[in-house]
Structure 1
Amino acid sequence: MTVFLAVIGVLGVSASGPIMAATAAPALAIAFWRNALGAVVMGAPAVLRNPRGFSRLTRAERKWILIASIALALHFACFITALKLTSVAAATALVCLQAGWIALFNLFRGIPVAPRVLAGLGAALVGVVVITGFDLALSREALLGDLLAVAGGALAGLYTIAGGKARATLSTGTYTSLCYGLCAVILLLLCAVFRQPVVSFEPAAWLGILGVTVVAQLLGHSVFNHLLAVISPLVVSMIILLEIPGAAILAAVFLQEQLPAGTYGGLALILAGLAVVVTGQGRRAVKTEALPPAPPALGGDVEA
């Protein structure tokens, strides 16, 4: 059953990029509805189980929820826009660099980083250069999409770190419903600022929005959150890295996305480098046990 659920989870998060790329709606609107629906799905049970948990937040909890919500909103804005500009495979691989960004953020915070982690970061960085080089040859639009995806990965890393701080004292239901809800409010404001509509879409677009919410959140991240209770976070993080080749395969099959051969070499370098980063950080976490449990790093789709 565990293997079956892992397969379902990988298919769920892998399908996220292709579905959003094919959805004919503005990027900010897609992000808004995903988080608004996610807040309702996660918030309703949380309110019924522990209504007082929402009214007893400490100042520190409110601070970390705010930081996580802003980072998540900007992550989605960057990532979904990137999917509209560059290939699904490239955008997914570049945004999955969040594991590397977390290692770099820890380094800036004075937390030692193992040499093997730095080696993995180096390999992933070479993969980024390879992908962006080929995309620059294709178009400036594709290169802009790559840069937005890289920024989305950095924001995902910040979201994960802030979420870990908040989750040290908050339940999953309370944290995610508040984070998704505030994130939806921020995205709604961004839609107003950039004059992106949030309604009046074609039926196919609404199906895409509903599909990415159900597939990515319910069949993707909810499954991985369940697996965290039965297998180690390190194994879950390694399984989630399969989103990179999974998204590339699904985009090739359903969107007829064809990439230069060299791009696949860059994808392979990023995948290998991140695998080294994840295993290196996982071993250090086991030795030190210094950090509180955090939402898992969920690749291009970071909803936990």
Structure 2
Amino acid sequence: MRRTVALLAVGVLAVSLAAPLMAQLVVPALAIAFWRNALGTGVLVPAVLTRRRAEVASLDRGQVVAIVVAGLCLAAHFGFWVTSLTMTSVASSTAIVSLQVVWVVGWDLVRGVPVPGRVLLGVLVAVIGAVVVSGVDLSVSRRALTGDLLALVGSVAVAAYAVIGGHVRQRVSTTTYTTGAYGVAALALGIAALVAGQDLGGYDADQWAWLVLLAATAQLLGHSVFNHLLATVTPTVVSLALLLEIPGAAIIAGFWLDQVPGFGAVVGLVLILAGMSVVIRTRPTAPAS
């Protein structure tokens, strides 16, 4: 249990760096998403070739299809979310994309998986916390509203990615699954960037440095840790843990970018933590089959 909590903490800290790091970049949105996945894939490929070659060769058709679909979902998540960050505030975009937990629990309900009332209550409290952190802008511009909608689509995509990963990771190692999903996502995002006319190179040295740091922290330490945890905890728990990215990013931005979180962010953090504790203590620790 302590190891799981420690890994959750590392993962949350790593993904919380994503929005502040991307705020430093003047690289096109789809290019950011591409390089985040491509660099992560490049680091993992040698490990697969040296230690997981037999496992890769033994993957059946269903597992390969699942990994490809998961990668496409991940590409959609990053493509829509990173683009939304150029149209609406970091707080709003991050909060909305983190509402993936709603879709994960909804999928459980569709499949007929029993969801205790306390879990639904915990989800509701956590979602309210996310809304409080993001704030409610009653005078949203059309551009900001479009950004919010893109983030919402991104939340659906990453929820699908989490659910698929929960199934695949029961039989496939973290390294193999992660490398495959990141590789597919990078390929899809690279094609999307080229079609959209977004440059994939020609950046200044400092921009490359930020991209490498983004891949090393948010991608490799963040999403890879959560992929590993999907073998032992439910997608709902992972999704709720990812809600902490909202206050985490706000705190980091406060120290790094002088974007000090207000009272609402503190209230939202308390609500998110309360909702998470209810779900983690109520739901089983093993992933649903």
The change in CA–CA distance for 1:290 and 1:16 in structure 2 (over 3 A counts) is closer
Note the 1:129-278 alignment, pairs <5 A.
134-221=136-223, 233=233, 237=238, 241-257=243-259, 265=267, 269-270=271-272, 272-278=274-280
Question: What is the alpha-carbon distance in structure 2 between the residues aligned to residue 89 and residue 205 of structure 1?
Answer: 23
The change in CA–CA distance for 1:254 and 1:137 in structure 2 (over 3 A counts) is farther
The change in CA–CA distance for 1:257 and 1:80 in structure 2 (over 3 A counts) is same
The change in CA–CA distance for 1:149 and 1:276 in structure 2 (over 3 A counts) is farther
Question: What is the alpha-carbon distance in structure 2 between the residues aligned to residue 85 and residue 278 of structure 1?
Answer: 34
Question: What is the alpha-carbon distance in structure 2 between the residues aligned to residue 131 and residue 246 of structure 1?
Answer: 11
Query: Which residue of 2 is the match for residue 299 of structure 1?
Result: none
Cα distance per residue 1:14-50 (max 9 Å; x no partner)? 1111101221111111111111111121221111113
The change in CA–CA distance for 1:124 and 1:163 in structure 2 (over 3 A counts) is same
TM-score, structure 2 normalization? 0.82
Cα distance per residue 1:213-259 (max 9 Å; x no partner)? 11223444456677x59xx748x847654332111111233233367
- SS of residue in 2 equivalent to 1:23: coil
Find 1:40's aligned residue among 39, 42, 52. 42
Q: Does 1:105 align with 2:78?
A: no
- SS of residue in 2 equivalent to 1:33: helix
For structure 2, list consecutive stretches of 5 or more residues without a partner in the other structure: none
Query: Which residue of 1 is the match for residue 59 of structure 2?
Result: 57
Question: What is the alpha-carbon distance in structure 1 between the residues aligned to residue 270 and residue 9 of structure 2?
Answer: 20
What amino acid is aligned across from residue 42 of structure 1 in structure 2? L
Q: CA deviation at 1:86?
A: 2.4
- SS of residue in 2 equivalent to 1:55: helix
Percent identical residues: 43
CA contact (8 A) 1:73 1:187 kept: yes
Find 2:288's aligned residue among 266, 269, 291. 291
The change in CA–CA distance for 1:71 and 1:222 in structure 2 (over 3 A counts) is closer
CA contact (8 A) 1:75 1:153 kept: yes
Q: CA deviation at 1:199?
A: 0.8
- SS of residue in 1 equivalent to 2:288: coil
The change in CA–CA distance for 1:50 and 1:72 in structure 2 (over 3 A counts) is same
Question: What is the alpha-carbon distance in structure 1 between the residues aligned to residue 121 and residue 6 of structure 2?
Answer: 33
CA contact (8 A) 2:85 2:147 kept: yes
The change in CA–CA distance for 1:151 and 1:136 in structure 2 (over 3 A counts) is farther
CA contact (8 A) 1:14 1:247 kept: yes
TM-score, structure 1 normalization? 0.79
The change in CA–CA distance for 1:151 and 1:124 in structure 2 (over 3 A counts) is farther
CA contact (8 A) 1:241 1:271 kept: no
For structure 1, list consecutive stretches of 5 or more residues without a partner in the other structure: 293-304
